[in-house]
Amino acid sequence: MSNTNPSHVSTKIGPVQTSGTVRNIVRGATAVGLILLSLFSGFKMIKNHYDEKKASRKDNADNGNENGKENDPPPPLASETLEETLNKPHRPVAKFIGGLITQGEQVILFSPTNQGKSIISMQMAIEIASGNPSKIVAKDEPHAAQRVIVYDSEQSDYDIRNRYGKFDGFPQELERVPNCTFKDAFELIKDIEQRTKDMMNEDLTIVLDNPTNMVPMFTSEPARLFHEGLKKLQYEFIKKGHLLTIIIVGHTTKIDPYRVPDTKFIFGSLNLCNFANCVLALWPTRFGEDQKMLFPLKARNFKKDGKAIVIRMVDEPYLHFEYEQSALPEDVIPLRPKRTGKEEDPDDDSSDSNHNKEVTEEDVERMKQLQQEGKSYREIGEELGVSKKTVSLYIRGIQVPKKKVEQQ
């Protein structure tokens, strides 16, 4: 009979199990030890890295490095006396169009529709690129020719052939970018930056005709950012020792052509005029369709004499304007037609052609909103279908909506 003593079986099998268990324990302990060692080494490395960063930050802070602490303010900008400014090396700055435009400026040229703003802006581009004296003013001096880029969203290729096809002496320094459309103002700025990045070793003029056609919804905030982008680009040219001149062509809101032009007529004027060094208005005159008035409304680098330049449109050798005379703008603007019968003078505050229109509380709120946006009483009245006198009465609280009167 076979021996089934459990102790024997245990004795027989026991030594084998004990030997395997020991080996497993040793292996497990070794693995745990290695893991703990790895964790300890990793922790030590992280701690050493943190200590080094902390020491580096402390050293930077002790050395006055502005990156030593995240909240440290940047060092103040360097200052200088006026005498130091005047004694700094400088280069001569050219004057264009008889001094109306100074090299390196941002210029706004605006007009009502169909007055020739694209024609005169292209003429300025041609004259600046060629270096020849301008025909827009009575007297001008030649200057060094320079490269000019015209972003043209107004004139088609047909317009160009029709207006300039008879002449073959245009300067090679003049380039035209046709069919300008961009999804937003930032895309336009990026295009200008890319196009000019290799041109900063020379003076340059850019004509933008006109941004409100190039970019959809060119409202106040995009306009502000757009002009800031142009300023930064001009500064990049200055750092390279050259100047970037920018001429921006714009249009007016619905205005009274029988009044002397004002900067408030510019579309988006609250932003455009703040950035511009020079603002020029191209206006109709009482002398016929072929004569216009060029009137400086803002100038930082030349003295205004209060007079306008009367220019005549000429089609030879290409379509352009030529100087006729200098006169006060009130002696040049179109004469208001005389009233006949029941016609009323829109400037006569004693009459209100819309006195029968009922003004609601919503209308008054809209009036105040438009006023905050910079609209004039006349512009507000045109939008709401009432006279400027009515707008004035309601905005100033002299007159209140009928509903409020009844409640009182």
The predicted-structure confidence for 113-137, as pLDDT tens digits, reads as follows 889 999 999 999 999 999 999 999 9
**Residue 343 in tokens:** 């016609």
Distance (Å, whole) CA 38 – CA 30: 12
Q: In the predicted model, is pLDDT for residue 140 greater than 90?
A: yes
Torsion of CA 281, 284, 287, 290, to 10 degrees: 90
Render pLDDT for 344-361 as a digit per residue (tens, 0 to 9): 444 444 444 444 567 888
Q: In the predicted model, is pLDDT for residue 390 greater than 80?
A: yes
Assign 8 a pLDDT band (cuts: 50, 70, 90).
very low
Report yes or no: 152 and 177 within 8 Å, Cβ to Cβ: yes
**Ordered alpha helix ranges (H), 89-156:** 117-130
The structure's pTM equals: 0.66
User: CB-side exposure of 97: number of CA atoms within 13 Å?
Assistant: 27
Distance (Å, whole) CA 408 – CA 406: 5
Report yes or no: 192 and 206 within 8 Å, Cβ to Cβ: yes
Distance (Å, whole) CA 391 – CA 399: 9
Render pLDDT for 210-259 as a digit per residue (tens, 0 to 9): 888 898 766 667 777 888 899 999 999 999 999 999 999 988 766 778 88
pLDDT at position 70, please?
54
Peptide bond before residue 210 is cis, with ω within 30 degrees of 0 = yes
Q: In the predicted model, is pLDDT for residue 389 greater than 90?
A: no
